[in-house]
Structure 1
Amino acid sequence: MNPAPPPSSSSSSVLDLAPVIPVVVLEDAADAVPLARALVAGGLPAIEVTLRTEAAPEAIRAIAQAVPEAVVGAGTVLGPQDVQTAVAAGARFLVSPGWTDTLLEAMRASGLPFLPGVSTVSEVVALLERGVTELKFFPAEAAGGTGYLKSLASPLPRARFCPTGGVTAANAPGYLALPNVACVGGTWMLPADALAAKDWERVRALAAEAAATGGR
């Protein structure tokens, strides 16, 4: 992840906590703590809670307070207001689907690690110019998948990616085998029926399978 300057080293990066970052969409903040505990128990401590629902800020706050072993972050960060909301809720990292200079400035100013989204070579080069080396590749499958990322490894060796968007249990190993992929983001360990049933043991088991992905 990219903190406020200077950039963090990979040894302290959120990207290195686990091979998979669960991407969580919560409609009910009451589910946040048991869900986070299940993911952590399964070996996935970095948890991205997307700011797509009204419950998201309270969910982040609840996880930050009640599950200290989790590293909870805010996803779908689209502007300075979202950055402020995430910081106030206790998020420990920020993820955006894309980036602008305004958003980048706000994320840097937060002091939190951040992961801006890219889908083109020019975006990657522009961020490298700005000292940002850890990026979200989104939407991964639609933007070219493993073949696209593999082609970036040689010309852009400083860039490290977390592909998200269309990543599944089946294709995650292919992404994780690439030298420029640090981890992937996904939702396959969070099936809708398990969440609806509050089947946290099933979530834990699926998280454990995901944590073993790629042999990391």
Structure 2
Amino acid sequence: MATTSVADIVRLGPVIPVLAFDNATQGEHVSRALHAGGVKVLEITLRTAAGLEAIKRAAQIAPDIVVGVGTITKPEHCALAKNAGAKFGVSPGLTREIHDASLDAGLPLLPGVMTPSDIIAAMELGYEIVKFFPAVPAGGIAMLNAFHGPFPTLKFCPTGGITPETAPNFLALPNVVCVGGSWLTPKAALTAENWAEVTRLARAASELARPVR
């Protein structure tokens, strides 16, 4: 996949699933099911020990899949994920050390922000697209509307608490390019190994409308 920038990646689909796996085999099944439903971008988090191996397997599923690493909280995560096959990184917050490590690893980063100070710090480091996390607890649509005034050029990928019912409302905002969500992989479906249900949810998410910008 030739896509290399966060700006390109976030435009590949309206929803980036946020994934945490019990084991790498589960991760491979889920990644295949999501891809079959038209989801080309995955965020596989480091919240479990299976994360890096799941990234490695998912990255090999298809030439058009773009696998990212989520929950980057330490600088060393960047090189580890890049070596496993990740094409981009997502962090819940941002430090200068994580920024520098992402550059050193050649891993495009979608950094997390929650406050105006977070946003200014990210913009000073050159970021034009950021993750708003946790989106709903931090103010949701009202907060994103408020951000648009002082930061009119900044684009967001809100993540945290978004549902299939509320996702269209977020996607309709002028400063939102995509959303992150965990609803594509409900625990019941994973426990039952109901990969067809994951594909169904992925297909519905892929068909969500978003304005052309």
TM category, shorter? over 0.9
Matched positions, count: 209
CA contact (8 A) 2:70 2:89 kept: yes
CA contact (8 A) 1:33 1:67 kept: no
Q: Distance in 1 between matches of 2:121 and 2:210?
A: 33
- Partner residue in 1 for 2:201: 206
- Partner residue in 2 for 1:57: 52
Match of 1:78 among 73, 83, 86: 73
Q: Distance in 2 between matches of 1:205 and 1:65?
A: 22
Match of 1:145 among 140, 143, 152: 140
Secondary structure of 1:157's aligned partner: coil
Q: Distance in 2 between matches of 1:9 and 1:112?
A: 10
Match of 1:43 among 38, 62, 66: 38
Name the TM-score, length of structure 1 as normaliser.
Answer: 0.92
Structure 1 residue ranges without an equivalent (≥5): none
Identical aligned residues as a percent: 45
User: RMSD across aligned C-alpha pairs, in angstroms?
Assistant: 1.7
Secondary structure of 1:102's aligned partner: helix
Structure 2 residue ranges without an equivalent (≥5): none
Shift of 1:114: 1.0
Name the TM-score, length of structure 2 as normaliser.
Answer: 0.93
2:10 counterpart of 1:15: yes
Match of 1:175 among 170, 180, 183: 170
Structure 1 outlier segments of 4+, above 4 Å: none
Question: Structure 1 counterpart of 2:91, which letter?
Answer: S
Shift of 1:33: 2.2
CA contact (8 A) 1:78 1:96 kept: yes
- The alpha-carbon distance between structure 1 residues 71 and 154, as it changes in their structure 2 partners (threshold 3 A), is same
